[in-house]
Structure 1
Amino acid sequence: MKNKDMTIAEICLNDALGGLELTAANCFEYFKNKTNCYAIVAPDTKLDKLIDNKNKFTVKRNKILPLIPAFKLAKLIDNNNIDILHFHLGKDIIPIVLAKIISKKKPIIIYSRHMNMTRFKNDIYHRWLYKNINMLHAVSRQVKEQLEKYIPSSARPPIELVYLGTKESSIDENKIETLKSKYNLENTFVVGMIGRIEDEKGQHILIEAISKLNNPNVKALIIGSAPREEYMKKLKEMVKSLNIEDKVIFTGFTKEVNEHMKLCDASVLATKKETFGLVVIESMRNKVCTIATNNGGPLEIIDDNINGLLFDRTPQDLASKIEYLYNNPDIKNSLASSGYEKAKREFDYETQMQKLYNAIQSV
């Protein structure tokens, strides 16, 4: 039964579509079945296209004149009797706090922090901002510790640690076979990397690792789109110069993420500073063995050599981990199976969403 006494607005005004934006969409989908809920996104973005619902509004962020989106948000708050503003990105904090002040309703503000925090927020401006926030949601212990370190206690709202979760999705087996044929992956050991194609994500590390293996039966499947064409161009030039054009496949953006993930024998997360690693638990839930960088969020998910592998973010170490899995299929399958059990037990979508909803409800 819905809680009709509480109205939540899920806000994400970003123009990209990655784990953070998908989490905002997932929160909207889950919360709207629990209570009155609206989605507020930037117009003509991938997130705008993804959320198809009559309870969706669009607001464009304005870095120079934040009062413009703030007044629009304040109007939406008052016209729709919104009690809680839940947002996910630091860039949205200014118009949201201003909207709270401008509105008659004066809603509660909850900030889900997905990104690293690396600077102290002890100046007057940031103290004022955080004093207007009612709760911080940290997606990992690392993020919680950063929030406690960098936001002074006099301005810091209560912090709730709730990990993200993932579903066990239905898979189109026929689609998998079609994709396998499309990418020519028969009798191939496939190493996948899923996510935005950008330098920080480290696709270049996987490409260099593939070149070091010099194994004709191992291919890299790089799944996602590039916000900046320069990096994609750099990657393709790198593939060409290493003479491995037959071993690296760029799929581009796809909505069939789980089917693409199921093509893989192993998946790689090579981000330099990952706060959590949603793609890690998604891979684990798809029973794909995961290799991730040995810092940040992955340390809270993967138990090395038990339910996945950790590497030091060098191409040499990544190549050795891929070779190890290639030469030891039973170990690969065991790691994948253990990873699946841990993801199902500790990072279940319904369980984690309910924990977050309960935390929001208690503010």
Structure 2
Amino acid sequence: MILSDKANMLGVVRPGSKLSSMYQRHTLGIEELKPGFKPFPLLAARKLAKIIDRFDADIIHAHWVKDLPLASLAKRLSRKKPRLVFTRHMKITRYKNDIYHTFFYKNIDLVLAITRQMESDLRRFLPAQLEDRILTHYHGVPEPAKILSTEEKAGLREKPGIPAGAFLAGIFGRIKDTKGQYLVIEAIRKLHAEGHYIHGLIVGHPMDDRYLELLKQEVNASGLSDYIKFMDFVEEPQSWMQVCDVVILASHEETFGLVLVEAMRAGVAVIGSDSGGVPEIIEHDLDGLLFRPADSQALAGQLRMLVDDPQSKKRLAAAGKAKAERVFDQREHFRVLYRYFTDLAGSKRAGSNEQMPD
């Protein structure tokens, strides 16, 4: 289920936004709007208010904190006075209870945190009047479009030159130092020194070409160029995840860790750094493995365990897949989100002051 199956939806995006193509794929309506002066975008808010009234919108759903002033002002200026829902995706580190932030945040009817840790932080840092309007709502991930056969996996491995039977550790995501690709290289180098000749696949678009070049230089200097391969962004990451024996999230700190859930849904064992929202995804040695952040020796130890114990790898992959289907299913994510929206819209029509869904 996606929300457009149940409700009329309109996407309001910045001109030239990459989101436009996503809306078009789902045949959803699009309105383009320049945000204007971000701290107090009054003119843009008037335009958005007119869009809200013309579309007869019951709900505004904002995802970027910098869009909150725009959404909050538009709600106040519109005749429709829709409910405002805000999903917080990034970590919050400072209090938002000053006059400026309170003015905008008081107009939010529901705040959705993507982890329980974030929910706790939001209760701490946001204005006290929002405390009863904050809930945790995990991201949802669809099952893979296709489960690859052994032959198909071998065919994909041939493209970057990875042997069909080799143990392969993959890391997916933007290539930048805080994402920890260098830790994977260091861990693989340590295992090679012990006689464990595993392979690595680093997939993602470089945010800094210099950092990518440094990674490649490190691979070459370590004599690992035949074992560690680089690929740019891929359209179907879950297919490439399926060719891996394990998928690693090595970020110093990740608010959620979507790549882990994608791999789990694909039936692949996962290793994640023990920080941020990752421990809410992985229960150590039950449905995945955790390691100390920024510690390549600790990461090497977890990789070694999977290399030495294939049965544990299979056990963790199966348990991770079951957990992802149970806790992080995309259809359930949207079903619950739709209930939140309809409850809020229903309470508004009934004239209720109650803002939090049951």
**TM-score band w.r.t. shorter chain:** 0.7 to 0.9
Q: How far is the alpha carbon of 1:103 from its aligned partner?
A: 2.7
> Are 1:203 and 2:181 counterparts?
yes
Instruction: Calculate percent identity across the aligned residue pairs.
Output: 36
Which residue of the partner structure matches residue 144 of structure 2?
A: 169
1:35-46 paired onto structure 2 within 5 Å: 35-46=7-18
Q: Is 2:73–2:104's contact at 8 Å kept on the other side of the alignment?
A: no
* C-alpha distance in structure 1 between counterparts of 2:51 and 2:335, whole Å: 26
Q: What is the rounded CA distance, in whole Å, between the counterparts of 1:88 and 1:217 in structure 2?
A: 43
Aligned length, in residue pairs: 335
What is the aligned partner in structure 2 of residue 332 from structure 1? 313
CA positional deviation for 1:154: 2.9
Change (3 A) 1:58 1:347: same
* Change beyond 3 A, Cα 1:91–1:324: same
- Is 1:355 the equivalent of 2:333? no
RMSD between superposed Cα atoms in Å: 2.1
Structure 1, unmatched stretches of 5+, are 1-28
2:59 to 51, 72, 84: 84
Question: 2:253 touches 2:276 (CA, 8 Å); kept in 1?
Answer: yes
Residues 131, 157 of structure 1: 8 Å contact kept: no
Structure 1 SS opposite 2:316: helix
Contact 2:9 2:28 in 1 (8 A): no
Contact 2:162 2:227 in 1 (8 A): no
Distance 2:218 2:322 in 1: 37
Aligned to 2:19: 47
Cα 1:156/1:346, change in 2 over 3 Å: closer
Aligned to 1:226: 206
2:327 counterpart of 1:346: yes
AA at the equivalent of 2:180: G
For the pair shown, the structure with the greater C-alpha radius of gyration is 2
Deviation at 1:335, TM superposition (A): 0.7
Q: Which of 110, 114, 133 pairs up with 1:158? A: 133
Cα distance in 1 for residues equivalent to 2:85 and 2:7: 16
Letter in 2 for 1:246: D
The offset of 1:354, in angstroms, is: 0.9
2 CA distance for matches of 1:191 and 1:239? 15
* Number of the residue aligned with 2:31: 57
My pick for the range that moved more, 71-80 or 307-316, is 71-80
8 Å contact from structure 1 (residues 267, 291) kept in 2: yes
Please give the TM-score of this superposition, normalised by the length of structure 2: 0.87
Counterparts of 2:47 and 2:218, CA distance in 1: 46
**Structure 2: which 5+ runs fail to align?**
345-358
TM-superposed CA distance for 1:259, in Å, is 0.8
Check 1:222–1:129 CA distance in 2 against 1; reply closer, same or farther (3 A cut).
Answer: same
Aligned position for 1:134: 109
User: Secondary structure of the equivalent of 1:154?
Assistant: helix
TM-score normalised by structure 1 residue count: 0.85
Relative to structure 1, the CA distance from residue 220 to residue 120 in structure 2 (aligned partners, 3 Å threshold; closer, same or farther) is: same
